[in-house]
Chain A
Amino acid sequence: MEAIFAICVGILTTCGFFLVLRGRTFTVVIGLTMLSYAVNLFLFASGRLTVDGAAVLGQSEVYGDPLPQALVLTAIVIGFAMTAFLVILAMRSRADQGNDHVDGQSPDHATKSIASDKRNG
């Protein structure tokens, strides 16, 4: 179980970081969502993985650590709010800049405009 869990977190993190490094806001938002999934799973595992363990004493033979569950809950809420903010900001940026590139202009467009500036200058 630990191996599958670790591989899942690893794949999610890798995909998340890859997507965050892309140039357009949509992929970046998806990347950050995947990162926050990965981080939530990771935090959950920091209290060790137990099967059939209740987080309340006296409910079962083995019990799980309740603190990571509280931490994950907080992290989910905060991550959700931040993603919502970023989505709105990305839409605003799309409207303001006229494209969805994180730098406000796509790289080929930028080189073209520099070239035309040189010609004019």
Chain B
Amino acid sequence: MQHLPILPILIPMLAALLMLLPPLSKSIDRHRLFSIVSMVLLLITSTYLLLVSHNQGTQLYILGGWEPPFGISLVADRLSTMMVLLTSALGLGALIYATAGDDKEGMYFHPLFMFQIMGVNGAFLTGDLFNLFVFFEVLLIASYSLLIHGGGKQKTKANVHYVILNLVASSVFLFALGILYGTVGSLNIADMASKVRLLGEHEQALAKSGGLLLLVVFGLKAAILPLNFWLPKTYAAASAPVAALFAIMTKVGIYSILRVNNVIFGVDAGPLASIAIPWLWPMGILTIVIGAVGVLASPSLRLTTANLVIVSVGTLILTIAMQREAATAAGLYYMIHSTLITGALFLIADLVSKQRGKSEDRYVVARKMPHNTPIGIAFFFAALTVVGLPPLSGFLGKVLILQSAEGATEMSWVWGFVLLASVASLIAISRAGTTLFWRYSKTSSSNSINNSDPIHPLKVMAVVLLLLTSPLLVIFGDPVIEFTRAAASQLHDTSQTVDALLQHNQIKGAQ
């Protein structure tokens, strides 16, 4: 399958375009069926792509036959295919939840959703920095529209902030690309990595400022401390399936930081090696702190979940800052787990909020939920995982991260803050659970049971699907950890991330 690496971009794009055309355009039922079928197809394709790139080595797809470093190439290595598979799995869960009714609140939910998936997959697969910018814009314009989908005052207000911030970030991104192209002379990631070592002294300073500007942009996407204040309000304002899908958006930023700072400005980059690391340490720690404070201070389950996203971002930044294979591998495992589980928690928060009438998901005493027990079980399960209690995947992810810290200084910072954040989450989540599920006003509980509707089976299915990944990540822990180790060692190995991608045309010429 020569064209396999581009399929994760083409499938959602074609699906989105076809849904705008006559046979599908008028009927929401056809939209639902078609988008779920395409999403399942995407899931199968990305699984296959992951297996191919794992067993047969990095797949390079050269668009238009322009050999690297001149044209745009797609690079499907272990890390990027893993992220694509993660996107498809999370996307399927969010989409199934949306088909239960949230997609009817406005028009074109499904095409927008597909464009969002296309942008995210493209950002993961591309091997060119300017192309990364283009895919960022694709996923952003889709996310702007998805965020405001359904309308309402809160959504408009959150969206204005989100759009303005991201437009400024896009300008900064372009400035950074201009500086890097002006000094390094290329935008192909592998080519930049090989050229950045050879820069003269004056150009080094410029390239360094370009690289750090990139960190600012990715930091905004990933919601690292000084740039994270948009996240809780935005995620809390979005409708549930959109918020669940947005769980992958911060990871796009994390992925870009990981890729740029390990390949272009990695340990082999001469004087420009590891330029971001001195910044990542304090930022990561402070992000964990502000996230933990936010978790403790949140007045509703959605805001708690949004702040848990920030805590997980801080933890992931620490694993990047350690810049070691074991740490990256642990971070990748934790990333899979935290993306899927925070996605599930956003969906559970919506289930809670739909059942409690006016009090929604705020931590106040309200009438008893008609379906207290099933939602309670789902919440308990998600809470155990997200806090990191054994035996679920959160525990395993955190243990791996703690194990990967080496030396007294590193251990004291990583252990201290990761564990403190876990305690804060444990306290906040326990309080949330007791308030939402055990404390209710007794008077109105009798009549509320009568007028309750059963939870839509698709919603249950979506939540169960996302939650099931957690025990699966533990049961199949060994192959998953093996894979993340292999992906991390590939990322840290210059011969595979740089040389192999550039020598492609020479090999072909020799043949």
Residue contact B153 to A78, C-beta cutoff 8 Å? no
Rounded to whole angstroms, the CA-CA distance of A75 and B182 in the bound complex is 16
Kindly report which residue of chain A lies nearest to residue B170, judged by CB atoms: A82
- Decide: A43 near B177, CB < 8 A? Known: A78-B137, A89-B156, A97-B156: yes
Residue contact A35 to B164, C-beta cutoff 8 Å? no
Kindly report which residue of chain A lies nearest to residue B174, judged by CB atoms: A39
- Decide: A92 near B167, CB < 8 A? Known: A46-B178, A74-B134: no
Which of B141, B182, B187 lies in contact with A82, CB distance below 8 A?
Answer: B141
B52 on interface, CB distance cutoff 8 Å: no
Rounded to whole angstroms, the CA-CA distance of A67 and B70 in the bound complex is 10
- Decide: A42 near B163, CB < 8 A? Known: A32-B168, A82-B141, A85-B144: no
**Chain A proximity of B287: nearest CB distance (Å):** 24
Interface string of B123-156 (1 = CB under 8 A from A): 0000000100010010001001000100011001
**Chain B proximity of A92: nearest CB distance (Å):** 6
Residue contact B174 to A42, C-beta cutoff 8 Å? yes
Residue contact B181 to A86, C-beta cutoff 8 Å? no
Rounded to whole angstroms, the CA-CA distance of A103 and B501 in the bound complex is 47
Query: Contacts of A90 on B, CB cut-off 8 Å?
Result: 160
- Decide: A89 near B159, CB < 8 A? Known: A75-B174, A78-B134, A78-B137: yes
Residue contact A20 to B178, C-beta cutoff 8 Å? no
**Chain A proximity of B426: nearest CB distance (Å):** 33
Residue ranges of A at the interface with B (Cβ–Cβ < 8 Å): 16, 20, 25, 28, 32, 35-36, 38-39, 42-43, 45-48, 67-68, 71, 74-75, 78-79, 81-83, 85-86, 89-90, 92-93, 96-97, 102-104
What are some 27 contacts across the A-B interface (CB < 8 A)? A16-B171, A28-B164, A32-B164, A32-B168, A36-B171, A38-B171, A42-B175, A43-B181, A46-B177, A46-B179, A48-B182, A68-B178, A71-B181, A78-B134, A78-B137, A78-B170, A81-B141, A85-B141, A85-B144, A85-B163, A86-B167, A89-B148, A89-B159, A93-B156, A93-B160, A97-B153, A104-B157
Query: Contacts of B104 on A, CB cut-off 8 Å?
Result: none
Determine chain B's interface SS by DSSP, over half rule.
helix
Most buried by B among A25, A47, A75, A86: A75
Query: Contacts of B159 on A, CB cut-off 8 Å?
Result: 89, 93
Tell me how many residue pairs across A and B have CB atoms closer than 8 Å: 89
Most buried by A among B144, B152, B159, B174: B174
Kindly report which residue of chain A lies nearest to residue B145, judged by CB atoms: A85
Residue contact B137 to A43, C-beta cutoff 8 Å? no
Kindly report which residue of chain A lies nearest to residue B182, judged by CB atoms: A46
**Chain A proximity of B242: nearest CB distance (Å):** 16
- Report the interface size class on chain B: 20 to 34
Rounded to whole angstroms, the CA-CA distance of A82 and B181 in the bound complex is 24
Rounded to whole angstroms, the CA-CA distance of A97 and B137 in the bound complex is 27
Rounded to whole angstroms, the CA-CA distance of A28 and B160 in the bound complex is 11
**Chain A proximity of B64: nearest CB distance (Å):** 13
Query: Contacts of B130 on A, CB cut-off 8 Å?
Result: 71, 74
B504 on interface, CB distance cutoff 8 Å: no
Rounded to whole angstroms, the CA-CA distance of A92 and B141 in the bound complex is 16
Which of B141, B168, B170, B181 lies in contact with A68, CB distance below 8 A?
Answer: B181
- Decide: A102 near B160, CB < 8 A? Known: A42-B178, A46-B181: yes
B26 on interface, CB distance cutoff 8 Å: no
Query: Contacts of B160 on A, CB cut-off 8 Å?
Result: 25, 89-90, 93, 102, 104
B439 on interface, CB distance cutoff 8 Å: no
Q: Which 6 A-B pairs have the closest CB atoms?
A: A46-B182, A46-B178, A39-B174, A35-B171, A43-B178, A96-B156
Residue contact A39 to B157, C-beta cutoff 8 Å? no
**Chain A proximity of B346: nearest CB distance (Å):** 23
**Chain A proximity of B235: nearest CB distance (Å):** 18
Rounded to whole angstroms, the CA-CA distance of A47 and B130 in the bound complex is 15
Rounded to whole angstroms, the CA-CA distance of A82 and B423 in the bound complex is 42
Rounded to whole angstroms, the CA-CA distance of A90 and B187 in the bound complex is 34
User: Which residues of B from 169 to 202 have beta carbons under 8 Å from A?
Assistant: 170-171, 174-175, 177-179, 181-182, 187
Query: Contacts of B30 on A, CB cut-off 8 Å?
Result: none
Rounded to whole angstroms, the CA-CA distance of A96 and B153 in the bound complex is 6
Query: Contacts of B163 on A, CB cut-off 8 Å?
Result: 82, 85-86, 89
**Chain A proximity of B210: nearest CB distance (Å):** 10
**Chain A proximity of B143: nearest CB distance (Å):** 12
Given contacts A46-B181, A85-B144, 4 further A-B contacts (CB under 8 A): A32-B171, A45-B178, A96-B157, A97-B153
Query: Contacts of A32 on B, CB cut-off 8 Å?
Result: 164, 167-168, 171
B354 on interface, CB distance cutoff 8 Å: no
**Chain B proximity of A37: nearest CB distance (Å):** 10
B456 on interface, CB distance cutoff 8 Å: no
